[in-house]
A and B are shown apart, each in its own frame.
Chain A
Amino acid sequence: MRIRQKQKLSHLFGLAIGLFALWILLSGKFEIKFLLIGLCSSLVISYICLPFLMIENPDSGKKFFVFGINYLKLFSYCLWLLGEIFKSSLDVIREILKIQMDYEPSIVYFSMPYENPMASVTLANSIILTPGTITIDVMEGGIFEIHALSKSAAEDMLSGDMPKRVASLFGETCEFKPLPELTVTGSEKGGKFI
């Protein structure tokens, strides 16, 4: 109980310091009046918002703080993601500007049951940010449903590089499992999705 309260206090003050830094950056004024107003409002806001920022895992009932991420790891992950974005957007631009369009859209599935809901959100967000792949749905049990523009994008997704990186970012230990028996290619008529 005590440990939990200590954690709560550290979350509260971390959030308040972050909001206060944002206030200073956006206002750019260093007079005492403005600093005091900013300090008070950031404390009040972080006290009110803290319960909303604790996300619960519906299965195990464990609670996770939204901003409780290792920021050094997050920075290196973002750099890697930027590189991926450039690579795959070059691929998509090549597909767009081809005179004879021959891409094959398909829907692929894989399962990655994260404990932390923020990990699923991060993975889904980074999949959509990489051009050529869109997360259509995240189902129960951590099954991701992904629409891929071309064959190479689908293979990239099924190689499981990105889910493993997100797992190491959040310190999770769960297995990546591609589900090829569910995979549907767009040209199949009379399939499940028509």
Chain B
Amino acid sequence: MEIRNILTVIFMTAGFISFAASAIGVFRMKDFYCRLHAAGVCESAGLVLCSIGLLIYEGFNITGIKIFMVFLAVFIASPIGTHIIARVAYKRHLQVSAEKELRKEERK
């Protein structure tokens, strides 16, 4: 029981750290596509770590299987959203990088 709690705490902490890092990244990155990369950290690594922690805490029973199903659904479906956002931005000719640099030059 003790070891299980310790493992849960370790995995959940790692998950929260990756959530925090992706939140910081969304503000720090310099362009739209790079922000998408930062958001991708939370939806893959953060989700995986948190659900592993919850699975270890819950054990192999009906609740654990339901947690695993939620994890699987998000794992399959969330990349589709990222892909659609990136694709629409790209088809609308949103600049890949260097947009802010250009704006700075205009101001000068």
Contact = CB atoms under 8 A, between A and B. Distances in A.
B95 interface: yes
B41 A187 contact: no
Interface of A: prevailing SS? mixed
Interface residues of B, number: 38
Interface of B: 18, 21-22, 24-25, 28-31, 33-34, 36-38, 40-41, 44-45, 48, 62, 65-66, 69, 75-76, 79-80, 82-83, 86-87, 90, 93, 95-98, 102
Contacts of B93: 193-194
Interface of A: 25-26, 28, 82, 85-86, 89, 92-93, 96-97, 101, 103, 105, 107, 124-125, 128-137, 147, 149, 184, 186-187, 189, 193-194
B75 to A, nearest CB: 7
Nearest to A22: B69
Contacts, number: 105
Contacts of B48: 82, 85-86
B43 to A, nearest CB: 8
11 contacts: A25-B66, A97-B24, A101-B30, A105-B31, A125-B80, A131-B37, A134-B40, A136-B83, A187-B97, A187-B98, A189-B102
Given A96-B38, A128-B83, A105 B75 contact: no
A74 to B, nearest CB: 12
